[in-house]
Structure 1
């Protein structure tokens, strides 16, 4: 019995070629040097920050309640803002470090048209969200700040996923859903913030690391 020879007909070859070209163009238009380790480190810093905030609130007898009566004095606002700023600085610093290291390993540039498009599409929802959270703080609507941060951050991730690894879209969806749920159960703002910026980042970072960097 003669062996069967496997081959692709011209139509299949054309489809395979088009698929390969599309894949190459897709990679060339996306910033793919994001490191999963940056997500893990950001999550760790967020959990530490949430722990510090929880300790501070306990020391000052400030408790999250499932009502609309939570108010913060100026010292507390400054402290919370300082912790948030420090967490953000540390997260960005480690993200730059791990991303630059991965880009060097892949012989890719860190700052080019792809990374600029990514940052721009991340910055627009984040900037609007930051202003909106400042407005909430100005009007004393403290209980919606953490949910709003999660929702706008999720929107930023989804908006930026067009220009980098599409996996961050799923992280963005989870952040939005968590933010919407915590906007209903307002007594769990700090917990939802810790889960969204801490636990979800760590899980996402580990998945991305084992998927793309091992």
Structure 2
């Protein structure tokens, strides 16, 4: 166990893992302090975290604007969540790939990513970092920061290059989605607030069912 922990925190992948843990505890501390100051606000932040982790960035952003959080809060929290997930899961994949660590819960997910990488091998080989940027930026199923980071590793990009590209493209994607979704939700809220909550409930239910079936 001691040897495994040492390997987990070694090298550049280990530094990324430590950074991910640091961001996680910063977010956790922020939420705890928020509960001491403003429970309503803290509940909204917790809702964003759970929604993003369970169903993704678009529903999480939609939720943030539906509960009337600002652009800065909605975008910052979502970017932070996705960066935390990348910085924690990516090093675990590196260890798994090198045969040092096996996590049964994540093995199927890792294998799916390897298959997707083979499918788009030519594009990644041709465009490199720019291809990774587009892959993370485009919000299709089985794309995004975690998958993009792992594919970046599989095509031979350097660890810090991967995290930098993924972080930048994630920020751009979430910012643009935020601007787009706020306009839609502001328009819907002008008619009936209950309607937007109904739409969000149906959307989240469909996404949850689809994700867990996969």
Above 0.5 in TM-score?
no
Higher helix share: 2
Q: TM-score, normalised by structure 1?
A: 0.31
Structure number with greater Rg is 1
Q: TM-score, normalised by structure 2?
A: 0.31
